[in-house]
Structure 1
Amino acid sequence: MSSKDPVEEKKTTKKSTKKKTTTKNTSSKEITNESTKKVTGYIGQKVMKGDLIKLDLLGKTVPTAIDNTSVTFQVSNMDDAAKLPNFDPEKSHLYTPELVLVGEKSGSVFEKIGDLLTSGDIKYGEEKNIILDPKDAFGVRDPKNIEKMSYKKFMGIAKEKPRLGMEFRNEKTGKTGQVITVDQGRIRVDFNHPLAGRQVEYRVKPLERMDKFEDKVFAFISRRIPGLEQDKFPLDHNKSTNTLNITTPDFFGLQQGVGMSEFYVAYDLQNNLGLETVNFIHSYKKPPTPAPHDHEHDHDHDHDHDHEDEKVDLGKDDSIAEEIAKPTNKKSTTKKSTTSKKPIKKTTTSKK
């Protein structure tokens, strides 16, 4: 999961380029980034189609004659992130490499970057720079994506007064734009991507290849649910039924949004690793019963003290107290809470 929002703007003297997609080999650089220290064994090996890899990306806009600024919009390691003016070390999960199945058009990287990975011209640990034209990146600017609306309509949707540069989202259409003009009760909102119409430059560096089945599974889990420890998710893969059981930590299933995240993990595993069924097993263990306490009074029992006054009248709740006092042999409750089966393909035949 990489940070893809525009996060840095700086002046640069680099001239505008009108070249089409190009690559620049920087493999002679020594690898010093913390995120690349694991890949020593892969250096010198070519990235091949079908490899499941972690890919380090640094994306920024290319300056133009009109706009000589460069905006960094994607970083995927802590070293690059630390150079940003708004870097937050508490959000390290945002600055992680992209998980890419080389050769699959999954949308995790732009198509031209995918073509570079399958070309056989890039090796693990090697850096290459690639420039993408707008049509190959965030698209060209389309005047039709600039919408005019009345003040009343805007207020009915946004529920706040329009301000120049504010983000505007229409929940009905799902479109997000930016207010570009506010004039005499008329508002113009630009629904083009903020980087539409800009050339962008990526630094691309393949870091790691996952060969073991367990590592591949956990990589897909981490992409949807970051910040987890691999040994906390034991796997049971039944090859005969092509079923994978994933045991989660205690009470993991109670976390908000887990169900939807598990659905997407199952989708990734089924489509990328060919699994038929993915089960997530959630356990809810009974807490240990506290040891009985010896209730001794520190005061003298020979005084005139009415202990009957200390009794609590449970009334109708006596049955509840008796039920609580009953011993139980139940130790834990374990259930397969989420089962995702691969959809059955339906064939529709249309006869002339």
Structure 2
Amino acid sequence: MTIDNGDFVRVNFTGKIKDTDEVFDTTYEEIAEEAEIFDVKKAYKPIPIVVGGNHLLPAIEEAIIGLEEGDKKTIEVDSDNAFGPRDHSLIQLVPMREFKKQGMTPVQGMKIQSDGETGKILTVNGGRVKIDFNHELAGKDLVYEVEVTEIIEDEKDKIKSMIELHYANSNVDVEKTEIDIVDGVANIKLDEMAKFDQQPYMDITFARFRIAKDIWDNIDEINNVNFIDSFEKKEETEDEEEAEE
């Protein structure tokens, strides 16, 4: 089976800056450690995507069309099709007093958030701070080494793969998800631990929307997705009753 748009697949990849061969992202733990970019909060394993779903750079998703499970491919992506050219208007000078108002001490290399954008402090000089709001990879040509580890064919496994992709909670076991598909409706009951998620409510809602959209956009027989949160009363056992007494 060859990959086409709308297929659910799992891929491993390593991304490098073409000019320097520097690794900036990878799904392999050993490569992350060698490149000194290992993140203890990240799970190093093949990631699920929908081809054409903009889960990776479009140039990468287009390049794996026609591959088969187990295939590997090296993909070069120029800066225009990666993270775009560098925009000098995104390099800003900010008065030091603005940082003092926030109780912050700016340091070269520090990353900050402003109006939803991430910037990196380039210099701190006297009363001014130079901040670059360009993406760190803007203006750089990239090389990705990609391996297709699985083509997902079972409908319930496709749904689970999107939960794994979008629902960022390491305490939730995707395999404990209960899925029932009836008359075009997918009813999803997540692992019990999802009920105790401490993420902001809007983040959880947005994650569920993205899961639902990927499902109804790419699984023809499903046009409605329900997330079911139920709290069942459990009968006390004799041991529990005795403990209360």
TM-score, normalising length: structure 1: 0.60
Find the structure with the greater CA-based Rg: 1
Unaligned runs of 5+ in 2: none
Is the CA contact 1:154–1:187 (under 8 Å) kept in the aligned structure 2? no
Report 1:327-346 matches (<5 A): none
Residue type of the partner of 1:78? E
C-alpha displacement of 1:169: 1.5
Report 1:306-317 matches (<5 A): none
From 165, 169, 174, the equivalent of 2:113 is: 169
In structure 2, what is the equivalent of residue 56 of structure 1?
Answer: 12
In structure 1, what is the equivalent of residue 75 of structure 2?
Answer: 130
In structure 2, what is the equivalent of residue 73 of structure 1?
Answer: 24
Mapped partners of 2:142, 2:194: distance in 1: 40
Pair 1:186-2:128 in alignment: yes
Aligned residues: 236
Pair 1:46-2:6 in alignment: no
Mapped partners of 1:255, 1:189: distance in 2: 35
Percent identical: 27
Residue type of the partner of 1:76? T
C-alpha displacement of 1:54: 0.9
Structure possessing the higher relative contact order (Cα contacts under 8 Å, 6 or more residues apart): 2
Report 1:87-236 matches (<5 A): 87=38, 91-93=41-43, 95-102=44-51, 104=52, 106-118=53-65, 120=66, 122-156=67-101, 158-170=102-114, 173-225=115-167, 227=170, 228-236=172-180
Unaligned runs of 5+ in 1: 1-44, 64-68, 294-324, 326-352
Secondary structure in 2 matching 1:48 = coil
**Alpha carbons of structure 1 residues 87 and 283: separation in structure 2 relative to 1, 3 Å:** same
Residue type of the partner of 2:156? E
C-alpha displacement of 1:210: 0.8
Mapped partners of 2:42, 2:187: distance in 1: 29
**Alpha carbons of structure 1 residues 128 and 183: separation in structure 2 relative to 1, 3 Å:** same
Is the CA contact 1:248–1:283 (under 8 Å) kept in the aligned structure 2? no
Is the CA contact 2:173–2:191 (under 8 Å) kept in the aligned structure 1? no
Is the CA contact 2:25–2:32 (under 8 Å) kept in the aligned structure 1? no
Mapped partners of 1:143, 1:84: distance in 2: 29
CA deviation map 1:172-200 (0-9, x unaligned): x2121111122221111111111112111
